[in-house]
Amino acid sequence: MKIAVCVKRVPDSEARIKIGADKTSIDESGVKLVLNPYDEYAVEEALKLKEAAGSGEVVIVSVGSEAAQETIRTALAMGADRGVLLEADAVGLDPLPVARALATELKDGGYDLILFGKIASDDYSHAVGVMVAELLGLPCASAAIKLEIADGKGRAEREIEGGVEVVEFALPAVVTADKGLNEPRYPALRGIMMAKKKPLEVKDAALDAGGVEILQLTLPAERKEGRIVGEGADAVPALVDALRNEAKVL
């Protein structure tokens, strides 16, 4: 099975976010950068499928700066075979240019399956994987919590409000992975050492500018002072009223 997994280098989710001096990006000093946690599910799934098939290749592709090579190496340490970095110093917020660059790279790769994490934990766009599928004219199941591949066909389950959607498709296909799809393996020491020797090609991403202009990046507003609505069970109607009409959450 030939599988491509697209990954992204993102700030660690525990990182304390500070706004940079330009007020349109975060201050990256001291921020730990890691493999997007949702991409870990995708890498793990690819490795499991290759292992089940007995043969094949798992290729890691990423759009990012030169440092993203480290992230690709992490996936190689987990067991992937080779990597491709589409180098771009500035990746804007518009998902389409990134999707186009990936689609161009993946188009003639002969992949049976292309996997993504459903979202990146920095921008939460939930877009690139699905867009790549559209650009390549492939079926796509997004946010999969379960995936079965057999005889050139796939079956994915995805969580929707109050239920689980079951989607069927034929390969080749694109699937984006959600939490719960699997339990990603830790890279073993030997894997880390071998990853250094696996091939990693660097190409120019040639991203176009995209249509999103960043006006400002700010910290969220301080929570407003709350209020005690009352005492005891008698205060309940007032609370319910506030939740409905003031907070508009009921």
Partner 1 sequence: MANVIAVLEQRDGTLKRVSREVLTAARTLADAMDGEAHALVIGPSGVSGDGLGEYGADKVFVAADDALALYQSDLYAATTADVVQGGDYGVVILAATAMGKDLAPRVAARLGCTLATDVTAIQYDGGVVVTRPVYAGKAVYRLKLTGAPSVVSLRPNAVAPEQNAKAGAVEATSVAGGPARATTVEVKQPDRAALDVAEASVVVSGGRGLKGAEHFKLIEDLAAAVGGAVGASRAVVDAGWRSHAEQVGQTGKTVSPSLYFAVGISGAIQHLAGIRTAKVIVAINKDPDAPIFKVADYGIVGDLFEIVPRLTEEIKKVKEG
Partner 2 sequence: MAGRLIPADHQPPLPRDQLVLTEAPGEERIDVDVVFVGAGPAGLAGAIHLAQLVKQGNEAGDGPGDVSIGVLEKAASLGEHCLSGAVINPRPFRELFPDLQDSDFPFGSRVEKESVYLLSAKRARRIPTPPTMKNHGNYAVSICEVVRWLGERAGELGVDVFAGFPAGALLTEGDRVTGVRTVPSGLDRDGNEMSNYMPPADIVAKVTALSEGTRGMLAQAYFEWQAISSENPQIYALGVKELWELERPLDRVIHTMGWPLPNDAFGGSWMYPLEPKVVSLGLVVGLDYPYQTLDVHDLLQRLKQHSLFEQYLRGGELVEWGAKTIPEGGYYAIPERLSGDGVVILGDSAGFVDVPSLKGIHYAVQSGMYAARAIYEALKADDTSRARLGEYDRLVSGSYIRDDLYRTRNMRPAFKSGFWKGGIKAALMSLTGGRFPGKRIDMEEDAAAPRRPGSAEPVVSDNKLTFSKVDAVFKAGNATRDTIPQHLIVGEDVPAELAEFYAHMCPAGVYEVSDGKLVVNAPNCVDCKATDVVGPRWTPREGGAGPSYKRM
Neighbours of 194 (CB within 10 A): 14
Closer CB to partner 2, 21 or 189, in the complex = 189
| Residues 205, 202: Cα–Cα separation, whole Å | 9
Residue 170, SS3 per DSSP: strand
User: Which stretch, 163-171, 184-192, 206-214, 224-232, contacts partner 2 (CB under 8 A)?
Assistant: 184-192
Closer CB to partner 2, 46 or 103, in the complex = 46
Given 190, 197, 223, 248, the residue binding partner 2 (CB under 8 A): 190
- The phi and psi torsions of 159 (rounded to 5 degrees) equal -80, 130
Q: Which does 200 bind (CB under 5 to 8 A by kind): partner 1, partner 2, none?
A: none
Residue 79 touching partner 2 (CB under 8 A): no
Contact 115, 6 (CB under 8 A): yes
**CB 235 → partner 2: shortest distance, Å?**
26
Residue 193 touching partner 2 (CB under 8 A): yes
Closer CB to partner 2, 190 or 227, in the complex = 190
Closer CB to partner 1, 106 or 141, in the complex = 141
Angle between helix 128-136 and helix 95-106 axes, rounded to 10 deg: 50
Q: Which does 202 bind (CB under 5 to 8 A by kind): partner 1, partner 2, none?
A: none
Q: Which does 11 bind (CB under 5 to 8 A by kind): partner 1, partner 2, none?
A: partner 1
Q: Which does 184 bind (CB under 5 to 8 A by kind): partner 1, partner 2, none?
A: partner 2
Residue 243, SS3 per DSSP: helix
Closer CB to partner 1, 188 or 217, in the complex = 217
In this structure, what DSSP letter does residue 112 have? S
The H or E element containing residue 49 is helix 37-53
Please report how many Cα atoms fall inside a 13 Å half-sphere around the Cα of residue 214, on the Cβ side. 15
Contact 36, 120 (CB under 8 A): yes
For binding to partner 2 (CB under 8 A), which residues are involved?
A: 14, 16, 30, 32, 183-186, 188-190, 192-193, 196
